[in-house]
Structure 1
Amino acid sequence: MEDYVMSIIMVGVISWTTLFMLTRKLLQNYSFEFCNRLVSTTHATIAVILASLTVQDWTCPLSPLNSDSSPKQMQTLAVTVAYLIYDMICSQFDKRSKSNVDNTIHHLVSIVGIGAGLFYQKCGTEMVTALFITEISSPFLHLREFLKELGYKDTDVNLAADILFAVIFSIARMVIGPYLSYVTLSANNPLLIKAMAIGLQLVSAFWFYKILIMVQYKFTKRTTLKKLA
């Protein structure tokens, strides 16, 4: 792994931690999770922008496949590894969180997967594209929780955020995702990279199922409340 990648990761962990501490200091009336989600939203936005900037040809954005990672791709992945390390540690201090174990496992698997890509310096296009499709829906996921804490639970605004998140997630994870998994598995990539592609798609399918249940519940609940009114 290149020295500059390690430097980005170390500086990144410090930077994300500092951003959280400043956010926590400025927004003392809001929860620990609220502040952490603001940092997560910032990362998702930066990750999508950086991933977009690595595209060499917008007429064929998913190219070149199965090639050496470019410096831009390595830097983008390093920024995300730094964030994942920060978030994995930060989540351990959230006393309200009930999913620390699941969250830790998810982060460890992601760090190992991206770390493998950085170590081999291969599959940059595939991994940055995976980063793009996983983070493009994240701001809308966090928006749903922001609205709840701000007092907009069960409102039209919250329902709109739910639908927007569900649509973006479904297109990214269940349309682009399967194709990305296919090309990753078809190419002569390291076994660990292929395993990560399968794992990501299985997780996406599971969450897609959960989202369908959530949307059905929201509309059923809304219909019931209107009838009672």
Structure 2
Amino acid sequence: MIFIPVAFTFYLAIYLLLSGIAPGSKNLIIQKRRKLNSFFVALTHSSLSLFLSFFSYVSLSGVSYTRETTEFEGLVINVIFTQNTLGYLLYDLIIIGFLFGELDQKMMLHHICGIIGGYALYFDQNAGSAAILAILLTENTSPFYQMKHVLKILGKSETKLAKVNDIIFIFLFIVIRPWITWFLAYNILASELNFIVKINTILVYSVGVLWSYAIICMVKNKFWSKEKGILESIGEYKFFSGCVLAFISIGLPYIIREYYQVGFLHFRFRGFTFI
């Protein structure tokens, strides 16, 4: 736990440093300048987590749901990811929330779920590899989301960089979250990992699908007809939509695993297990 105050100080120092040198910030009003700096700090946090997770994922030839957690994976999860995120969460709560009154509750909830899931994975001796892949699949959109807001605050939403950033963000969200991440969720449910890990996996996957649905609706309304269609109609039937989502994230994996006696669903190539 000693790394938490270090992480808090690190992110606070970045915020204070950016207050003087953030590109374009001197021409912004104080509220926008604070938001710009906070998004730069968030970008630093997400990029650091993804870089270390990717390095671990590649160096250990992909993912394993049964292998015992290595020392490096334990370090990434406990110190670099969980305690680093908790330090960032405290920074977000104290500086952005209490001091400036600009707390993003949805992002706070996202952090809290990540910490709970991270510790549950850390205390399962075989969960380290799955945790690393979970970070990659659920956090890969974060830098692009944060960059989107940085460009918006700087008045560069219509630039080529902003459009490329949006395309990558949308592609990752509508391809990885509802589809590829399902295989990770299935494999975790089919594994012998602990109960908290499995519940957290279902919740994170379900939230990702809901966000993907919202983004698909946004893209549809921007590039096609804005009249209410089947996508919007589905959203009105929340109970039915919830039942379908529950079946996809819980029922379907159970049927495949128990009724058809299917084990892990892996994607492998030359000894590298992608998922």
Is the pair's TM-score, using the shorter chain for normalization, greater than 0.5?
Answer: yes
Q: Deviations over 1:67-92 (max 9, x none)?
A: 32212212222222234323433241
Correspondence for 2:40: 38
Q: Secondary structure at the match of 2:123?
A: helix
Other-structure match for 2:144: 140
Please tell me the residue identity of whatever aligns with 2:83.
A
Q: Is 2:203 the counterpart of 1:190?
A: no
Q: Which residue of 1 aligns with 2:65?
A: 65
Runs of 4+ in 1 over 4 A off after TM superposition: 154-157
Q: Is the 8 A contact 1:12 1:79 kept in 2?
A: no
**Aligned partners of 1:54, 1:161: CA distance in 2, in Å?**
26
Inter-partner Cα distance in structure 2 for 1:170 and 1:72? 31
2:37 is the counterpart of 1:11: no
Counterpart pick for 1:92 among 92, 97, 103: 97
| Gap change, CA 1:71 and 1:9, over 3 Å in 2 | farther
Structure-1 residue corresponding to 2:220: 216
Deviation of 1:34 (Å): 1.5
Task: Mark the runs of 5 or more structure 2 residues left unpaired by the alignment.
Answer: 226-275
Contact 1:70 1:124 in 2 (8 A): yes
Q: Which of these residues, 109, 116, 122, is aligned with residue 120 of structure 2?
A: 116
Over the matched positions of the two proteins, sequence identity in percent amounts to 22
Answer yes or no: is the 8 Å Cα contact 2:3–2:84 preserved in 1. no
Q: 1:9 to 1:176 in 2, by over 3 A?
A: farther
Contact 1:163 1:215 in 2 (8 A): no
Q: Which amino acid aligns with 2:97?
A: Q
Question: Structure 1 residues 218, 86: CA separation in 2 closer, same or farther (over 3 Å shift)?
Answer: farther
Give the drift of 1:46.
1.9
Alpha-carbon displacement from aligned partner over 1:99-124 (angstroms, at most 9, x marks no partner):
43x33333222211111222334300
Alignment RMSD, CA only?
2.5
Q: Does 2:16 match 1:21?
A: yes
In structure 2, do the counterparts of structure 1 residues 116 and 14 end up closer, same or farther at CA, with 3 Å as the change threshold? farther
Aligned residue number for residue 51 of structure 1:
53
TM-score normalised according to structure 2 size: 0.68
The answer to whether the 8 A contact 1:88-1:103 is kept is no
Moved more, 203-212 or 112-121: 112-121
- TM-score, normalised by the number of residues in structure 1: 0.81
Computing the radius of gyration over CA atoms, which structure comes out larger, 1 or 2? 2
Partner of 1:3: none
Q: Distance in 1 between matches of 2:37 and 2:128?
A: 31
8 Å Cα contact 1:65-1:126 kept in structure 2: yes
Paired residue total: 212
Larger mean CA deviation between 193-202 and 83-92 belongs to: 83-92
Partner letter of residue 82 of structure 2? Answer: V
**In structure 1, how many angstroms separate the alpha carbons of the residues matched to 2:168 and 2:200?**
27
Distance in 1 between residues matched to 2:161 and 2:132, nearest whole Å: 32
1:180 aligns with 2:199: no
1:34–1:82 Cα change, 3 Å: farther
**One-letter code aligned to 1:191:** F
Deviation for aligned residue 1:189: 0.9
